Structure 1
């Protein structure tokens, strides 16, 4: 039997591991190893929305946060939205993520989760959570926060993006979340020639935290970009 889009994503997530070096003070978290329920809900999600072989648009985040995909295994999806929108309950964790709020408000206006996920696949160039040691304990980090960190993970990111594209994603245009993220994806793209066109959208966290009064404008911008 031919594998579906869901099967390929699940295989990717199950087998993902980062074994490269990291600068002092950084660690990588693999949600699929840390919590068995994460693996279960991630599989339910992809079987629910991606059980086909349809070609999709590719939307790229930064790297999973500890409270979003770092818990649920699903990009920009906290446990609240996983349960309330997708109907998948997670018993071992309860999370609220700022980015997830914007993303699911946008998805609702797009036409709902079924329609959105039929058209779009979201993941990150570095698909595992990165944390940084601080005086206040371990905090979320972005792959581009530190020059040495980016240098360490760059090749792994290119390989990950190539694997994502092999899932049957449209490489003619990629939708990148966050302007700084786009600068770094552009560097990778120059080197690896992965995508034809890079379309940059403001990151959901930025919109939700700093532009909440203009949220509708950004929702419209996302939908116009994705449906054109």
Structure 2
């Protein structure tokens, strides 16, 4: 069985070769490929040893240009990564990651990641016309490839619960479940996407919503 990092890299190679994306002038974000060593270091420290114990997944959309699109780690920018791993000098920041890392720090990273696996429906991010382009805006043929890869990840983790982080993700998870996938998985009531939560006027309320939800799952 491929590791979760191998799963992501194999998917990148498959999706990056798509003629359909090229024809639509959609670029596959690839900076994280240069940081593969850091991705593997993160997974070795926080994820790999916990796979058998993790029963809850938090699931976002797909990486963005300024956060996970660079680091390869969902909802983690380089500023956050510099606190999670040693010898990271970059301090690039991104709003979604700033909010999400505040949740992680509330529990401490080791405790958080020993209970929660964080991922996206699509492991890879996209850009079109110098803007983030989300998986749900892609063709049905490409989305089916994305869903297949996501389900492969879920077979590795084998969660009991998935918490969607946006209405679009919740719709996708319910679509997959209606097609006979994720049979024994509870799709919990979703939380707002961290980008929305990062808006100053939303932060305090959304932080409390996240903590209220996660307190049920983080032991």
Normalising by structure 2, what TM-score?
Answer: 0.84
* Alpha-carbon distance in structure 1 between the residues aligned to 2:11 and 2:207: 36
Kept in 2, the 8 Å contact 1:82–1:89? The answer is: no
Q: Which consecutive residues of structure 2, in runs of 5 or more, have no partner in the other structure?
A: none
Counterpart position of 1:132: 128
Q: How is 1:103-182 mapped onto 2 (pairs within 5 angstroms)?
A: 103-109=100-106, 111-133=107-129, 138-144=130-136, 146=137, 149-170=138-159, 172-182=160-170
Kept in 2, the 8 Å contact 1:78–1:96? The answer is: yes
Kept in 2, the 8 Å contact 1:81–1:104? The answer is: yes
Q: How is 1:192-203 mapped onto 2 (pairs within 5 angstroms)?
A: 192-195=180-183, 196-199=185-188, 200-203=190-193
Q: CA-to-partner distance for each residue in 1:123-151, whole Å, 9 max, x for gaps?
A: 11111011111xxxx1112112x3xx141
SS for the counterpart of 1:47 is helix
- Tell me, yes or no, if structure 1 residue 207 matches structure 2 residue 206: no
* Alpha-carbon distance in structure 1 between the residues aligned to 2:87 and 2:192: 29
Q: Which consecutive residues of structure 1, in runs of 5 or more, have no partner in the other structure?
A: none
SS for the counterpart of 2:61 is coil
Q: How many residues align?
A: 209
* Alpha-carbon distance in structure 1 between the residues aligned to 2:98 and 2:175: 30
SS for the counterpart of 1:39 is helix
SS for the counterpart of 2:135 is coil
Compared CA separation, residues 217 and 69, structure 1 to 2 (3 A): same
Counterpart position of 1:61: 60
* Alpha-carbon distance in structure 1 between the residues aligned to 2:98 and 2:45: 21
Kept in 2, the 8 Å contact 1:99–1:205? The answer is: yes
Give the structure with the larger helix fraction: 2
Give the structure with the larger strand fraction: 1
Q: CA-to-partner distance for each residue in 1:96-119, whole Å, 9 max, x for gaps?
A: 11111111111122x210011111
Kept in 2, the 8 Å contact 1:31–1:128? The answer is: no
* Alpha-carbon distance in structure 2 between the residues aligned to 1:47 and 1:123: 16
* Alpha-carbon distance in structure 2 between the residues aligned to 1:28 and 1:103: 24
* Alpha-carbon distance in structure 1 between the residues aligned to 2:216 and 2:135: 25
Q: CA deviation at 1:32?
A: 4.0
SS for the counterpart of 1:103 is helix
The worse-fitting range, judged by mean Cα deviation, of 63-72 and 203-212 is 203-212
Kept in 1, the 8 Å contact 2:112–2:218? The answer is: no
* Alpha-carbon distance in structure 1 between the residues aligned to 2:174 and 2:149: 15
Counterpart position of 1:185: 173
Normalising by structure 1, what TM-score?
Answer: 0.81
